[in-house]
Structure 1
């Protein structure tokens, strides 16, 4: 087999393995990185490097693997944008953690979110007590959004996607 075609196929296989692994190990892992998580990410990147390029240590081999990863990521995002089923499978859906001051302990347990992590997110949003929270959600990107009943507080960690198809006139 052509060594560069081999790199392309290996890179695609590793990319989809990582997408599935992140999907099944939880979206919380995406934004709540601690020291052990950073070490894990570094070790995974080192371990899959050889799986992608094999014994090819050339500059072209490395650039080809990187290009394939970018291309597959771009194509997957396009597919996710056009297919709600695939989008839901890969990204899951936002989860309500607190609604009108009431914590959903079953959702917290299912997602593996500790009360300390939830309290940390509340403090980051300037909220001290659970009863002050109108809505707390684990977003699809792994961040916890908090909306309080206080008018002077604003949501943080808010990321907006602006699609090119939207008109620029308001």
Structure 2
């Protein structure tokens, strides 16, 4: 009874691998806050890969097998990335320092396409007025920007979510 679903298992695993690689190449950071175009893209991708996973089997069992395979692969990948650092480094993004002790890292900001306006907005949302008041500002792995200010009283526990990709960062 498993062999009729072997094709679905292999197809689902291939789609999972493809989507993991595609997100690594095109950037998970952009998924931290979705706009209309992002939602449309996700819906179209899910619709296009559905047939690739289940093939001609449109039965309830075929869909459940495909979903189960995706959950199992995701569970295994999470366990393996915790156990093996090299796999963690290969698959998962790392936090990036944007500001350290009031000094902007222009190279990182440029590489990540974070604009001056976007960075200022994130800092203001944390109750900080100027870069020089920032002890540490990081782009976290989930795409949020966290800020630790020099003044511990103004420290807020909110996270700024990136809205879109800007390429006009200026000093």
Length-normalised TM-score, structure 1 = 0.85
Post-superposition CA distance 1:10-32 (Å, at most 9, x none): 11111111111111112311313
In structure 2, the partner of 1:87 is: 88
Residues 8 and 64, structure 1, Cα contact 8 Å, conserved in 2:
yes
Equivalent residue runs for 1:139-154 within 5 Å: 139-152=140-153, 153-154=155-156
Shift of residue 33, structure 1, vs aligned partner: 2.2
Measured at CA, do residues 113 and 12 of structure 1 come closer, stay the same or move farther in structure 2, by a change above 3 Å? same
**Runs ≥4 residues deviating over 3 A:** none
In structure 2, the partner of 1:50 is: 51
Unaligned 5+ segments in structure 1 are 158-170
Length-normalised TM-score, structure 2 = 0.84
Equivalent residue runs for 1:14-163 within 5 Å: 14-152=15-153, 153-157=155-159
In 2, the alpha carbon distance for the partners of 1:134 and 1:79 equals 34
Measured at CA, do residues 41 and 120 of structure 1 come closer, stay the same or move farther in structure 2, by a change above 3 Å? farther
In 2, the alpha carbon distance for the partners of 1:47 and 1:119 equals 38
SS in 2 for 1:80: helix
* CA RMSD across the alignment: 1.9
Unaligned 5+ segments in structure 2 are 160-171
In 2, the alpha carbon distance for the partners of 1:89 and 1:105 equals 25
